[in-house]
Structure 1
Amino acid sequence: MSKIISISSQAIRKLNTPQLLKGGLYLTWSATILLLITTISGVQGQRQAIKTLGKDSTPSIVTAQRLKDAFAGMDANVANELLVPAGQNTDAVKGYEERYQKAAERLVAAAENITYGDKERKPIESMQLGLGNYIAKVQQARDFHQSGDTNSVLVAYRAAAEIMDKTLLPAADELDEANFAELKRSYSEEKFASGRSLFFIVISGVILIVVLVGFQVFLSRRMRRTLNPYLLAATAIAFIFLGYTTKAILSSANNLTLAKERAFDSMHALRQARAIAYSADADQSRYLLDPTFASKHELAFMEKASRLAKLTDGLTVENITAAVKQDKDVKGFTGFLADELVNIPGNFFPGEQEAALASFSTWENYIAIDQQIRQLNQSGKLQEAIALCLGDKPGQSNWAIDQFKKANQNTFDINQAVFDKAIKQGDDDVTGFEITTPIAVSAIALLTLFGLLPRLKEYSS
């Protein structure tokens, strides 16, 4: 290496001043081209990362989660409808139709936003076929319910429930997981690529600035000219452009991190919690509807409830709330609601901590009412248990789950607003570089040329 440097130095010393000036000019132009390439490549990569998060994976993930809570909501409403004589629970009938409408709309939206081929296509097809079969079995159960054939109602509903549990909900999870896995992979790759691109941009910018400063030093020593206004202007533009570009990419990267690690991770946990809550609510009604498999439905409810929030070591809503407000770790508190509370240290987004705590407390209130329902049923008070399960007044189960849904949605909306703003800002940060970069590097190249032309003319005259 030292021999190569020595040979290069000897070759340079043999060049005369005009040759050195021309060589320096070409070197400057090469450095500007390098800066152009690294900058355009870097901002386009950053923009692609934002597109992947904001427009490709995230909408599909949210759609999959909404499909899941639409399916589970349909099932909960059907079970509620079948718990009482036909025609008595019109709210459940209406709720079923509303959830079915949403499921149909979201299936269309999911099909229109396929980005990753069969990983998304296959679960969507499973949901489309499964939904038709589920609706057919539900209609059979309703027909038997209308005629008062209790045994046939249970047979038909069990078949519908099996489709829900083994086809629809797993397919929605599969769609979610396919997109979420791709999101995590691409986010990790793009985050690394963003840092690498910024590194190359800074290196190419520093190279250009060093060349320009070196020119100034050369002209000052060789030609006794202290300042060259054109080269000074070119150097200033290079400094300003490099600083502006670095700031823009860092800002965009920070907004991408904010959108993914703060806002979207919370959104994902909240949507998972909501969908599982719908499914658990269906299990609560199944527990009362189908005594033969009551223990199975009770275990399913408990398992899903623990996935939302599991409290151990004597934890209570009160001491968890106090710890969260003081930004303390809460050991023994797990589940999607815990994930959301852990993801917001210091009330990161205004109002989020209060909304998340409300979501947690309303869920625990629902769990307390569920325990009352089971106690009533075990005491032989089935009709009272059904009334508490279907009631929508304060202190009753449907009221409690509705309060949870509202608190959950409020927390989700806070994060969604931050996510949308961060994605837009991150995109805005790197907008226009395809125009400003060529202008900046062209200006540097021209100013360098104008700065050297008088010196070159001195040797040609």
Structure 2
Amino acid sequence: MSVELPTRIATLPAVRRARTTPGLLVTLTAALVALAVLFGVVGLLAVQQRAARVDQIRTVSGPLSVHALDVYRSLSDADATAAAAFLSKGVETPALRQRYLDDIARASSALALALRATDDATDPNNRSETLLRSLAVQLPVYTGVVETARAYNRQRLPLGGAYLQEASGLMRGTLLPAAQELFTLETDRLAAAQRSGADFPVLVFLLGLVLFGALIGVQVFVTRRTNRLVNPGLAVATLATVVSIVWVTVALGSATGHVDTGRRTGSALFADLAEARVLALQARADESLALIARGDGASDEDHYQVMMDQLLGEDRQSGVLREITDRARDTGDRDLVAGLTETARAWEAQHDGLRLLDDQGRHAEAVTLALSDNAESPSTGFAKLDADLGKAIEITGDRFARESGDAVGGLTSARIGLVLPILIVLVATVLGTRARIGEYR
């Protein structure tokens, strides 16, 4: 019975037809069509997945990182500017006052934009929104204390310095740590999205090769059964498959390359430069607070040294600025950051001159030097360092945005490279085998 059943199945009309040359051609045609459709569908899904990641990078993760940096930098600069404003007796200079107000306005605007952006962010623990709301609540408290300190300072009362120390303590103990965590969280999320978006879809490439091999195999079968060297339809389908494989590989390779370049030379360098700028701003605030304390600013000077140790390294040969220089991959980036270390060292030398005056009891001279804009003033050295860091941050941020935009173009090309050739494969395969099948009727 077990031998008789397969024999009966083999003698069924449908099975006999399937085993004939036209039947085999129909089966092979259906297999080629299914394989081509699979290649196209898997390819489009892979492209769509990467397009979604790039869109997430461009519209959510990237902007959130920028907003987080704006918050972090603006708060740090507000702290440094408020401290510098108190060095002048009574009324601060209009320029310092305006800079402080601009910092607060920029921080408030960045908080609002970041809160709006978190509505589209994927954060299971909602940590970013928690940090942003905490900052939004604490910022008015900080500005209120600063205004109280400013009112006392305008009356030339020493109590103004105490309130300023309280405001700076709130900034450094609550606001800046939250802003730093937010910035770190968003830059880490951005880097993770970029790494996933830079993965090459190996499965799509392998399916393309399988389709190519299957077309070659069917072409060989048709040649042997029909004694015709080339089947035009299958030849066109094979050529279209090769074009699709090359096109998609180049387009996706270009897109992933742009995403990776945007990470390495854009957002990664952007984050390092942002960290350096915040360290410099905090050191600048320490410089002013130590002077305001009138001989009682040892803790502020100690904190200044901690910030500079991180910025330049304890040996003044390493630190964040040296790491930035080492990570710069091309000549343009190295030229961009090469002068930062020397500028920071020059500022530190000016700071040492300022501290020497104050430590010798020449406080009034030290304050005059701090407020002046001559070449020996620490404010001049810091202004140059801050401007250079700001320029480098802007350049790397623009590079990140440009590379992300170029990645979108590569993904659009990949879609075209899948759809058009696969349609040609489908039509050419069916037409090529149908003509041979018709010969057996």
Assess same fold via TM > 0.5: yes
2:367 paired residue among 386, 398, 406: 386
Would the aligned equivalents of 1:263 and 1:415 in 2 still touch at CA under 8 Å? yes
Would the aligned equivalents of 2:262 and 2:399 in 1 still touch at CA under 8 Å? yes
Partner of 1:230: 233
Partner of 1:144: 152
Q: Which moved more, 1:233-242 or 1:273-282?
A: 273-282
Tell me the secondary structure at the aligned position of residue 439 of structure 2: helix
Would the aligned equivalents of 2:370 and 2:377 in 1 still touch at CA under 8 Å? yes
Q: How does 1:66-77 map to 2 (within 5 A)?
A: 66-77=70-81
Q: How does 1:18-417 map to 2 (within 5 A)?
A: 18-114=22-118, 115-117=121-123, 118-150=126-158, 152-191=159-198, 194-195=199-200, 197=201, 199-291=202-294, 293-310=296-313, 312=315, 333-347=317-331, 350=332, 352-417=333-398
**Alpha-carbon displacement from aligned partner over 1:423-455 (angstroms, at most 9, x marks no partner):** 111110011544552332121111111111121
Partner of 1:321: none
Separation in 2, partners of 1:51, 1:308: 34
**Alpha-carbon displacement from aligned partner over 1:306-344 (angstroms, at most 9, x marks no partner):** 2222152xx6xxxxxxxxxxxxxxxxx432212221112
Counterparts in 2 of 1:140 and 1:73: CA distance versus 1, 3 Å:
same
Deviation, structure 1 residue 301: 0.8
Matched residues, number: 424
Would the aligned equivalents of 1:287 and 1:295 in 2 still touch at CA under 8 Å? yes
Q: Which moved more, 1:106-115 or 1:224-233?
A: 106-115
Would the aligned equivalents of 2:91 and 2:153 in 1 still touch at CA under 8 Å? no
Partner of 1:7: none
Would the aligned equivalents of 1:50 and 1:423 in 2 still touch at CA under 8 Å? yes
**Alpha-carbon displacement from aligned partner over 1:231-279 (angstroms, at most 9, x marks no partner):** 1111101001110100111111111111002221111111111122111
Counterparts in 2 of 1:208 and 1:12: CA distance versus 1, 3 Å:
farther
Separation in 2, partners of 1:148, 1:400: 29
Would the aligned equivalents of 1:40 and 1:437 in 2 still touch at CA under 8 Å? yes
**Alpha-carbon displacement from aligned partner over 1:132-185 (angstroms, at most 9, x marks no partner):** 0011101111111122221x2122112211210111101111211221232233
Separation in 2, partners of 1:249, 1:433: 6
Counterparts in 2 of 1:189 and 1:419: CA distance versus 1, 3 Å:
closer
Partner of 1:5: none
Would the aligned equivalents of 1:64 and 1:176 in 2 still touch at CA under 8 Å? yes
Give the TM-score, by structure 1 length: 0.87
Would the aligned equivalents of 1:251 and 1:426 in 2 still touch at CA under 8 Å? yes
What stretches of structure 1 of length at least 5 have no aligned partner? 1-9, 316-332
Separation in 2, partners of 1:27, 1:140: 80
Tell me the secondary structure at the aligned position of residue 291 of structure 2: helix
Separation in 1, partners of 2:340, 2:400: 20
**Alpha-carbon displacement from aligned partner over 1:30-59 (angstroms, at most 9, x marks no partner):** 111111122112212222332233332222
Would the aligned equivalents of 2:78 and 2:103 in 1 still touch at CA under 8 Å? yes
Separation in 1, partners of 2:58, 2:284: 32
Tell me the secondary structure at the aligned position of residue 272 of structure 1: helix
Would the aligned equivalents of 1:363 and 1:404 in 2 still touch at CA under 8 Å? yes
Tell me the secondary structure at the aligned position of residue 376 of structure 2: coil
Deviation, structure 1 residue 14: 8.0
Q: Which moved more, 1:430-439 or 1:229-238?
A: 430-439
Separation in 2, partners of 1:357, 1:455: 70
Would the aligned equivalents of 2:370 and 2:379 in 1 still touch at CA under 8 Å? yes
Would the aligned equivalents of 2:291 and 2:297 in 1 still touch at CA under 8 Å? yes
Counterparts in 2 of 1:127 and 1:295: CA distance versus 1, 3 Å:
same
Would the aligned equivalents of 1:355 and 1:410 in 2 still touch at CA under 8 Å? no
Equivalent AA in structure 2 for residue 52 of structure 1: Q
| Root mean square deviation, CA, Å | 2.1
Counterparts in 2 of 1:269 and 1:255: CA distance versus 1, 3 Å:
same
Would the aligned equivalents of 1:138 and 1:157 in 2 still touch at CA under 8 Å? yes
Tell me the secondary structure at the aligned position of residue 412 of structure 2: coil
What stretches of structure 2 of length at least 5 have no aligned partner? 1-9
Partner of 2:7: none
Q: Which moved more, 1:337-346 or 1:248-257?
A: 337-346
**Alpha-carbon displacement from aligned partner over 1:82-118 (angstroms, at most 9, x marks no partner):** 1221125332212211212211221122112111452
**What percent identity do the matched residue pairs reach?**
21
Counterparts in 2 of 1:292 and 1:381: CA distance versus 1, 3 Å:
closer
Separation in 1, partners of 2:267, 2:403: 11
Tell me the secondary structure at the aligned position of residue 431 of structure 1: helix
Partner of 1:439: 420
Separation in 2, partners of 1:407, 1:165: 24
Give the TM-score, by structure 2 length: 0.91
Separation in 2, partners of 1:301, 1:288: 12
Counterparts in 2 of 1:261 and 1:83: CA distance versus 1, 3 Å:
same
